Amino acid sequence: MASLKKRGKTYYVQYYVGGKAKRRSLETASLQIAKEKLRQFESAQFRGDDLALPTRTPIADVVRDYVEHIKAVKTERSVRADLYYVRQWFGPVCDDLKPVRPVGKPIPPLEANYFEEIATQQIAAFLTRAQRERNYEPKTVMRYREVVMRVFNWAMAHRGIRMPRDSNPAKLVARP
C-alpha cells in the first residue's frame, strides 16, 4: 500500500520495501494528478511490474550509451550519418558530442536535466526552429525526428528508461 505525502507544493508517493519507507517525487503540485499517479503506482505494484514512475537519468549518460550501441551494430557510414543528427540535437548538453565545427546558428540547449524530462513540445519546437531558421527541407526534418525517435525507443527498450505514460515523446510529433 502506498500513500501521498506533500512537502511544500510537491506531492510524493510513500511506499515500503522490506519494511523500509521509500519516497519518490511525483513532480506535481496538483492533488488530482498526484492521486492518478498514485493509482498507477499501486496498480503496477499489484501486477508485480517495476515502479510505474518515470526514472531520472542524465541525458548525457543515455546518449553516450546509445552512441556506443550504434557503433557496435551499424556500419561506419551509418554511424556517421546518425551521429550528425544526434550531435545537433543533444550536443549542447553532452560534452562528448560537441560539434567539431558549428553548423549554422547555434541551437538553444535542451531545457531538461534528465532524459525523462524531454517533452513532445521540446522536440516539436526544435524541429520547427530547424525548418524555419535553417531552411531545412521536410525530408531533413523527418530524418531528425526519426533519429530522435530511435534514441527514445532504444533508451526505453535497452536502458530501462521509464518515460511518463510509457510513450515515446517523439512519436507524437506531427510530420512536417
Sequential pLDDT tens for the chain (176 residues): 789 999 999 898 988 877 788 888 887 888 998 898 888 888 877 776 655 555 678 888 889 999 999 999 999 999 999 998 888 888 777 777 766 565 666 666 677 888 888 888 889 988 888 888 888 899 999 999 999 999 999 988 888 787 877 788 888 888 87
Q: Looking at the structure, tell me whether residues 40 and 92 fall in a common domain.
A: no
Give the model's pLDDT for residue 142.
93
Query: Could you say which DSSP state residue 175 is in?
Result: P
- Is 17 part of a structural domain of the chain? yes
- Is 53 part of a structural domain of the chain? no
- Is 90 part of a structural domain of the chain? yes
CATH of the domain at 133: 1.10.150
Give the model's pLDDT for residue 149.
93
All residues at 6 or more sequence positions from 125 whose CB lies less than 8 Å from its CB, including other chains: none
Cell of 143: 530524418
Q: Looking at the structure, tell me whether residues 20 and 98 fall in a common domain.
A: no
Q: Looking at the structure, tell me whether residues 111 and 30 fall in a common domain.
A: no
* Count of structural domains, the chain: 2
Give the model's pLDDT for residue 51.
54
**What is the pTM assigned to this prediction?**
0.67
Q: Looking at the structure, tell me whether residues 39 and 87 fall in a common domain.
A: no
> With contact defined as beta carbons under 8 Å apart, do 60 and 95 qualify?
yes
The boundaries of the domain holding residue 38 are: 3-47
- Is 143 part of a structural domain of the chain? yes
Name the H helices within 48-137: 59-73, 76-90, 120-133
Cα 57 to Cα 159: distance, rounded to the nearest angstrom:
10
Give the model's pLDDT for residue 102.
57
Q: Looking at the structure, tell me whether residues 163 and 82 fall in a common domain.
A: yes
Q: What does the angle CA 108 – CA 132 – CA 128 come to, to the nearest 5 degrees?
A: 65
Q: Looking at the structure, tell me whether residues 40 and 74 fall in a common domain.
A: no
Q: Looking at the structure, tell me whether residues 85 and 160 fall in a common domain.
A: yes
Q: Looking at the structure, tell me whether residues 90 and 137 fall in a common domain.
A: yes
- Is 54 part of a structural domain of the chain? no
Q: Looking at the structure, tell me whether residues 91 and 150 fall in a common domain.
A: yes
Q: Looking at the structure, tell me whether residues 34 and 101 fall in a common domain.
A: no
Instruction: Provide the residue count of the chain.
Output: 176
